[in-house]
């Protein structure tokens, strides 16, 4: 009987230990790669949450934000993709950067972006800029994708990779997402175009 209760106590103690932490990116920052592994985004659903184990990670990020200049005039400010290296614990983090109020500040930030990771307990973890991706052993990364669409995604094929448009892959992906009625309408439109 004592063996069971000791085992129960050990299970209870260790059940609260997480094996990875969640890293949340704001709308303006898009994670592109983690430890050399490319993150796949779809047009309608960008990956904003990563599940990363404790340890050192190299993350490729891009800044992009839209600013309204006038009534009918807008400007998108983008940075070049940049690498950062960060040491994470088994906690949840929010990626942060200095507040940007206008397009001028955004342009300055895009030239030299600086980000940090804020732990839930309030501790800030600074990042080191990485000038070049070296051949470092890749840590396994599980990417958690949150789907914002109302209908469930049932595709068995992965979404086309961001930055590498492939018409055939995109057609296959969207064909898997389409309802039978949408597929029939598409085939009918193709038949009309062939005539």
Closest CA to 46 of 25, 66, 60: 25
Average pLDDT over residues 151-166: 46
Residue 7: exposure state from Cβ atoms within 10 A (0-12, 13-18, ≥19): exposed
Q: Does 6 or 131 have the greater pLDDT score?
A: 131
> Residue 180: is its pLDDT beyond 90?
no
Looking at residue 131, its pLDDT comes to: 67
Looking at residue 175, its pLDDT comes to: 77
Look at the pTM and tell me if it is higher than 0.85. no
Q: Does 187 or 109 have the greater pLDDT score?
A: 109
Looking at residue 42, its pLDDT comes to: 84
Looking at residue 187, its pLDDT comes to: 82
Torsion (CA) 69, 70, 74, 76 in degrees, nearest 10: 0
**Alpha-carbon distances, residue 16 vs 13, 52, 90, 94, 149 (angstroms):** 7, 17, 11, 21, 32
pLDDT band for position 181 (cuts 50, 70, 90)? confident
The DSSP bridge partners found for residue 66 are 76
Token reading at 18: 């997480």
Torsion (CA) 19, 20, 21, 25 in degrees, nearest 10: -170
DSSP letter (8 states) at residue 30:
E
């Amino acid at each position: 009987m004592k063996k069971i209760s000791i085992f129960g106590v050990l299970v209870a103690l260790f059940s609260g230990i997480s094996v990875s932490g969640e890293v949340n990116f704001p709308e303006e920052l898009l994670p592109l790669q983690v430890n050399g592994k490319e993150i796949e985004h779809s047009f309608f659903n960008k990956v904003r949450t990563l599940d990363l184990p404790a340890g050192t990670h190299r993350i490729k990020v891009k800044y992009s934000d839209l600013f309204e200049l006038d009534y009918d005039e807008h400007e998108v400010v983008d940075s070049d993709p940049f690498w950062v290296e960060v040491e994470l614990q088994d906690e949840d983090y929010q990626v942060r950067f200095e507040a940007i109020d206008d397009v001028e500040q955004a342009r300055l930030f895009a030239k030299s972006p600086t980000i940090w990771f804020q732990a839930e307990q309030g501790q800030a973890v600074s990042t080191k800029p990485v000038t070049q991706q070296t051949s470092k052993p890749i840590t396994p990364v599980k990417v958690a994708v949150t789907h914002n669409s109302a209908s469930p995604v049932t595709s068995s094929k992965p979404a086309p990779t961001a930055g590498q448009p492939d018409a055939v892959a995109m057609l296959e992906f969207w064909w898997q997402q389409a309802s039978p009625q949408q597929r029939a309408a598409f085939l009918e439109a193709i038949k009309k175009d062939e005539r």
